[in-house]
Amino acid sequence: MGDPHRVGVVGLGVISRAYLDTLADHPAVRVVAVADLDPARSAATAARLPGVEAESVERLLDRPDVQTVLNLTIPAAHAEVSRAAIDAGKHVYVEKPLAATFADGRATVERAAAAGVRVGCAPDTVLGTGTQTARAAIDGGLIGRPLSASAVMVTPGHERWHPHPDFYYAPGGGPLLDMGPYYISALVHLLGPVRAVHGAASRLRDERVIGSGPRLGQRVPVRVDTHVTGVLEHADGVLSTLTTSFDGVATTAAPIEVHGETGTLAVPDPNHFDGEVRLFALGGGGWRALPPGAGYVDGARGVGLIDAVTAGGRRAPRAGGDVALHVLDTMTALLRSAAEGRRIELTTAVERPPLVPLTPAEQWRAHRA
């Protein structure tokens, strides 16, 4: 058994707690340092994690014992922090999206390849039993040949609960770049890569009001489209319709449905690791739930980084930079299609990541590199 893979975390906002809860006691990784623009936040985080040191970003990147930088900064900073980590000879695992622009995302992946380091990227929720059980059902022929899919995310916006929601409404944010990675990553796992898109977008309001926390009542300018919809043409001809909205209120639509010649799958929310997968098959007597058949059981944020570390070069990471770049290509092409009013072909292609075998929680949580 090898030594734990050593990780430094940059960015200690709301999502960092979920990652640290997963990684702090995992035998395959060891968090050795944390950094944030707010030194008090770094100190407070380090104080609750034995053996973890609070650092500046520069000092963390200079540490020889940091092998991978977990980049949990805001989307607008993803490319800059990832680039600095790569230049310091570190592997990088980035919170979604890979970067705020496709050009920055491609540059990140190319820079890492030239430096001989790896890039991974969220979301890893699609590695849980929800999406992976649906993937196994499709691969097993339970709906026949896939024909089409729909993916729907409707919410009135994150300012209702997030104390600092500004970045959701700045370039690099919006419902597509914020939530689209979950849905498009799931569609890639389920149905394969995308070859072209048709998009449309709108913006309901020019400002949002913070609904909680110390900035309650403050107004945030909206600088991005907040309702984005479109059609994804998958490489094998399947058509997926996608809707992501911060302007609606609620929906009764399944987060994802996949339609085939002989059946339909209702797939749970790809923002969660688990959830019930339901099948309606011709002659099958109606909807029935499928038992978990693939995926990391009781998955948690950070399992994608663990998946990459424990792959040990034997296979590509399932939450790899190639998938993240393809997802970013899809999203930015959708936005460009909406702005230009035309079909746009993607410039990237990717292999479907390998299926995650059904892996009990006690197994993946105890895995040693």
Q: What is the pLDDT of residues 178-207, one digit of tens each?
A: 999 999 999 999 999 999 999 999 999 999
Where does the pLDDT of residue 1 fall: very low under 50, low under 70, confident under 90, or very high at 90 and above? very low
Note the pLDDT of residue 25. Answer: 85
Q: How confident is the model over 285-314, as a mean pLDDT? A: 93
Note the pLDDT of residue 316. Answer: 82
Note the pLDDT of residue 368. Answer: 67
- The two most distant CA atoms of the chain are separated, in Å, by 63
From the list 358, 364, 360, 192, the residue with the least C-alpha distance to 290 is 358
3-class DSSP state of 133: helix
CA distance from start to end of the chain: 6
The ranges assigned to domains in the chain are 5-121, 126-293+326-345
Read out DSSP for 102-119? HHHHHHHHHHHHHHT--E
Q: How confident is the model over 258-281, as a mean pLDDT? A: 98
From the list 233, 228, 127, 106, the residue with the least C-alpha distance to 182 is 127
Averaged pLDDT of the chain: 95
Q: What is the CATH class of 5-121?
A: alpha beta
Express the helix, strand and coil content of the chain in percent, nearest 5 each.
Answer: 35, 25, 40
Contact yes or no for 118/92 (Cβ under 8 A): yes
From the list 73, 63, 60, the residue with the least C-alpha distance to 15 is 73
pLDDT surpassing 50 at residue 146: yes
- Residue 217: both structure tokens together: 């009542």
Residue type, 339: A
**Full-model pTM:** 0.95
Share of the chain above pLDDT 70, in %: 99
Where does the pLDDT of residue 72 fall: very low under 50, low under 70, confident under 90, or very high at 90 and above? very high
How far is the C-alpha of 88 from the C-alpha of 111, rounded, in Å?
12
Note the pLDDT of residue 154. Answer: 97
CATH 3.30.360.10 for domain 126-293+326-345 = yes
Note the pLDDT of residue 306. Answer: 96
Note the pLDDT of residue 314. Answer: 80
Lowest mean pLDDT among 88-102, 158-172, 319-333: 158-172
The predicted-structure confidence for 352-369, as pLDDT tens digits, reads as follows 999 999 999 999 998 766
3-class DSSP state of 294: strand
Q: Residue 288: beta bridge partners?
A: 279
